[in-house]
Amino acid sequence: MVNRLLSKNHAVTGYNRTRAKAQWLIEKGMHWADSPRAVCEAADMVFSMVTNTAAVTAINEGPDGILAGLGKGKVLIDMSTIDPEASRALAAKVREQGAEMVDAPVSGSVITLQEGKLSVMVGGRRETFDQVRSVLEDIGPKVTYVGNNGLALSMKIATNLSLAVQMLAFCEGVLLAEKSGIARATAVDVLTHSAVASPMVQYRGPFVLRMPEEAWFDVNMMQKDMLLALEMGRKLDVPLPTTAVANEFLTAARGMGLEKQDFAVVFDVLARMSGVSK
């Protein structure tokens, strides 16, 4: 995302816990800051994207946190996928500093980001959305305002539950075809060009043939989102039966020591249950 902002001639100041991981962006023109607070003090719009609610708290609180660097006229754009209630609580703290905040999680993958096809959901005050929209469109062409703070996260969670569910169903189809005598590669080719081939299935389906060396979205991250969905379902009285089943396969993957693999590794779990070797 930083790379896309740089390519659109935005001046970007950034921070990461491990500076070495940001070195390639520094070489492309990103200015380095030594803390989240320093980033805020250097920018009008501040993007944050970390793994979970605890991580969001860690980068925002304290003398070197985001909140300490915010002030009137600044906007925090948090792109982390976390509990909507926690996000709304953070937005209230941001406004106490005279700043504004939107939650802006994204939907897509490494490929869709590189191709400029990422979609962004935005929750917050409408006037704040109007203020940041053009910058978000430089990251991805589809930017949708969904309502007040926290609602973009609700939409993201509602979207992400389908990823594991679709992947599990895809794996079932591949294994059913394979055990009937069809080559796995042939089954994958047919399914990824069939009516069931969502964009996610098209780019992740081939992972059952060869997993990526580095997970695009690992089991732990996927299960975090599934648990957020299940908790939302409990609170809102919405049964989520397929989400619950897919979540159990993620638990099984962790039990097999596969938690750092891309969540497409649920294929391995189902394959072992089916008596099929990877």
The residue range of the domain holding 184 is 154-274
Judgement on whether residues 200 and 122 belong to the same structural domain of the protein: no
Q: What is the tens place of the pLDDT at every residue in 103-149?
A: 999 987 666 666 667 889 999 999 999 999 999 999 888 999 999 99
DSSP state of 30: P
CA distance 46 to 39: 7
Judgement on whether residues 20 and 128 belong to the same structural domain of the protein: yes
Question: Is the pLDDT assigned to residue 278 strictly greater than 70?
Answer: no
Whole-number pLDDT of residue 112:
67
Domain containing residue 229: CATH number: 1.10.1040.10
Give the total number of structural domains in the chain. 2
Percentage helix, strand, coil, to 5, in the chain? Answer: 55, 10, 35
Which residue, 25, 21, 22, 19, is CA-closest to 7? 25
- Which among 114, 130, 149 is the end of a domain? 149
Average pLDDT across the chain, whole number: 93
Judgement on whether residues 199 and 240 belong to the same structural domain of the protein: yes
Please give the structure tokens belonging to residue 248. Answer: 């159990």
- Which among 149, 169, 194 is the end of a domain? 149
- Which among 149, 166, 186 is the end of a domain? 149
48-71 average pLDDT score: 93
Q: Which residues contact 111 (CB under 8 A, 6 or more apart)?
A: 203
Please give the structure tokens belonging to residue 153. Answer: 């996260």
Question: What does 194-252 look like in DSSP terms, one character per residue?
Answer: STT--HHHHHHGGGGTS--SS-SSBHHHHHHHHHHHHHHHHHHT---HHHHHHHHHHHH
Judgement on whether residues 22 and 139 belong to the same structural domain of the protein: yes
Judgement on whether residues 162 and 135 belong to the same structural domain of the protein: no
Q: What is the tens place of the pLDDT at every residue in 26-44?
A: 999 999 999 999 999 999 9
Whole-number pLDDT of residue 173:
97
Question: Is the pLDDT assigned to residue 67 strictly greater than 90?
Answer: yes
